[in-house]
Amino acid sequence: MNATPPPRLSALADAGFALDTGARAGALQVRASTRGGEVFDRFFAAYDGAFVLPDEKEGRAGFLECLALNHGQAQARLLQRFGPFREWVLVAERDGDVVGGANFICHAVAAHDGATVLAMNLNYVFVAPGHRGRGHLRDMVAASRRLARMSFDGDAAGALPLLVFIELNDPLLMSAQDYALDNAVAGVDQFDRVAIWARLGARILDFPYLQPPLSAEQAADDGLMLGVLDDGEALDACVLGGHLERFFAISVLKDGDPLADAAARAQLDRCAQGCAAGGGFALLDPLPHLPALRAAADAARDEAPRRGLRERLAGLGNH
């Protein structure tokens, strides 16, 4: 086993850089922060209109509570427990107008062989309505990746692999009301959204993902799938377990204990079992099967029990 030490965090708490999108859209100015303030206010104002489903949406107080974990005694305690991490919000602007934004956590985790892997969870990523249809989702992902790498010090950190996780609505598990509402606000159908992410390199993780409640007033969200921007055939169970433990504890539970939450614990236990066995979870390419799955969607929603898109892809032997 070739264990490698995790990278050090950089001193960066705020950041700004230009992102060149070429002839397609010119330069975007990216501003990012790990705390409340003007950048957060700009992010939240745009975010608040982009996300509408009640159990997926983080409130203003929840964001600020989470960002506060980047600093002070809370950060020191979490660094000792989990190693280096950063939680960011960012906005990309052109001529003072918000084009899009993102919120993510990034951290370092250990693979089964002891190698260090950087991982990030795109908790929220969006393009503002007036700027859609120009490829800016790709730009938001690129800006987030760049910022994640800037969060760690040293040349060695720059050479580490970086996995990008994204929660995706499962079109076959959403209620008809949520499906219609999210389509209307986002301006894109749920199946089309899966296709867009697949073209960006996302694969659906064959794992029974359940997002724990974001607050005491919200329920666990069982209408999601976990996507990974990775072209491999499987994801190391140790990497997934390390990632989910940090994401649940910091971004979702805000310094809570994921093992005390039933939804989180079941998933972490499954990862631990796979990790001990040196196993992994298949990465499924949805693109070849989306037309057929979309055509059969109405009948699929009437089945009992309902099977989601992830389960159906796995049943097709798609790896």
Question: How many other CB atoms sit within 10 Å of the CB of residue 218?
Answer: 17
The residues, any chain, with a CB within 8 Å of residue 173's CB and separated by 6 or more, are 222, 223, 306, 308, 309
pLDDT in tens, 88-118: 999 999 999 999 999 999 999 999 999 999 9
Given the DSSP bridges, would you call strands 85-94 and 116-127 parallel, antiparallel or unpaired? unpaired
Q: Which residue has the higher pLDDT, 30 or 305?
A: 30
Q: Which of 241, 233, 238, 243 is nearest to 278 (CA)?
A: 238
Q: Which residue has the higher pLDDT, 269 or 297?
A: 269
Per-residue pLDDT, 260: 94
Mean pLDDT of 122-127: 96
Mean pLDDT of 27-54: 93
- Least confident window among 13-22, 47-56, 124-133: 47-56
Give the side-chain half-sphere CA count within 13 A for 227. 23
pLDDT in tens, 234-292: 999 999 999 999 999 999 999 999 999 998 999 999 999 999 999 999 999 999 999 99
Q: Which of 235, 267, 208, 233 is nearest to 112 (CA)?
A: 235
Sign of CA dihedral 159, 39, 33, 214: negative
The residues, any chain, with a CB within 8 Å of residue 193's CB and separated by 6 or more, are 168, 169, 186
Domains contained in the chain, CATH given? 14-315 (3.40.630.30)
Asked if 318 and 288 count as a contact pair (C-beta separation under 8 A), the reply is: yes
Mean pLDDT of 28-52: 95
Tell me how far apart the alpha carbons of residues 133 and 196 are, in angstroms, rounded to a whole number: 11
Question: How many other CB atoms sit within 10 Å of the CB of residue 276?
Answer: 11
Tell me how far apart the alpha carbons of residues 159 and 208 are, in angstroms, rounded to a whole number: 31
Sign of CA dihedral 263, 213, 39, 18: positive
pLDDT at residue 319 is higher than 50:
no
Cis ω on the peptide bond leading into residue 258 (within 30° of 0)? no
Asked if 67 and 89 count as a contact pair (C-beta separation under 8 A), the reply is: yes
- DSSP tag of 9: B
pLDDT in tens, 167-219: 999 999 888 888 888 888 888 899 999 999 999 999 999 999 999 888 878 87
pTM across the whole model: 0.94
pLDDT mean across residues, the chain: 92
